[in-house]
Homo-oligomer: A and B are copies of this chain.
C-alpha cells in the first residue's frame, strides 16, 4: 500500500465515521469506561458498555464492530468474554482486543487462550503485552523478554516488532503497539507513528480509549487503516493538547481536539522519514 493510498483511506475513515455514527459496543474496564465512551463519541462514533454474556452475544449480531479490553476482570468474565468472542466470530464481525493484565491470573490466561480460536481483527497493547500474547499463542519462541508487571510495560516498542508481525500474520488483521513511538503492522507493512505527548503517561486510559476508537473505525475501514487512523488521531490530538502543560486540562483538550480535527489534518499531518518503517512523523 503506497503512502498516497494510506492518506486517502485515513481521510475517508475519519469522514465516514462522522457521517454514519457507527456503534462499537465494549466490554472494558470500569476505571476508564467514561473516557473510552467519550473518545468514541468525540470522533463521531456511538458507545455501549456491557457485561452479560447473552447481551454481548446479542449485540454482536447487530453492531458492526466490538471492543474487548480485559482490564478490571470480574468473576463473570470467564463466561462473558469467550462467549462474546465466539459470537463475533460466528457473525463475522470485526473486533479489537486489548490484552491488558495478561499473565496476572489463570482466568485471564484461560480466556486469552480461547481467543486464539476466535481471533480479533486488531490487537492493541504495550510492548510487554504484545510479546506475552505472541508467546501464549505459541507464535514466537519463549524467552525472558516481555515480562509484564501489573499494567505497565518493561519493554520498548521495537522489541515487540517480531511478536506484532507474527500476531498480525496469524489473525490476518492488524496489531498496534503503543509506546513512545507507536508501531502498526498488518504483518506485511510496519509503520512507526510519532507524535503524542509525555502527558499521556500522566492520565489514565489513553490506551483503553485508543482501542475503543480503533473499534469505531473498524466499522468503516480495514483493520490496518482503522488502527492507523486512531493512532494518528491520538498522536495529533495529544500533541496539540500538550500545550496546556498539565494532565487534567490535557485530557479535556485532547478530547476536544479529537472532535475538532479535520480529516485533512489527520491524513496530512505526517511525513515520511527514510524507510517506510519510519514514515509517520508529525511536524506540527
Please report A residues at the B interface, Cβ cutoff 8 Å.
23, 25, 29-35, 37-38, 41-42, 46-52, 54-55, 58-59, 62-63, 71-76, 101, 104-108, 149-152, 201-205, 246-249, 251-257, 259-260
Contacts and interface: CB of A to CB of B under 8 A. Distances in A.
What is the copy number of this chain in the assembly? 3
A247 to B, nearest CB: 5
Contacts of A31: 33-34, 37, 47, 49
Nearest to A103: B58
A249 B252 contact: yes
B105 A52 contact: yes
Which 9 residue pairs spanning A and B have beta carbons closest together?
Answer: A248-B255, A246-B256, A37-B204, A31-B33, A248-B252, A55-B105, A48-B150, A48-B151, A55-B104
A54 B255 CA distance: 35
Contact of A75 (B48, B76, B151, B254): B76
A251 to B, nearest CB: 7
Given A38-B203, A38-B247, A248-B251, A52 B107 contact: yes
A55 B256 CA distance: 36
A260 B38 CA distance: 24
Contacts of A23: 149-150, 152
B252 A41 contact: no
Contacts of A73: 51-52, 55
17 contacts: A23-B149, A30-B33, A37-B204, A37-B205, A49-B71, A49-B72, A50-B104, A52-B75, A55-B101, A74-B74, A74-B76, A75-B76, A246-B259, A247-B259, A248-B255, A248-B259, A249-B253
Contact of A105 (B54, B149, B249, B251): B54
A79 to B, nearest CB: 9
Nearest to A252: B248
Nearest to A257: B246
Given A38-B251, A55-B107, 4 more contacts: A32-B34, A52-B74, A55-B73, A55-B104
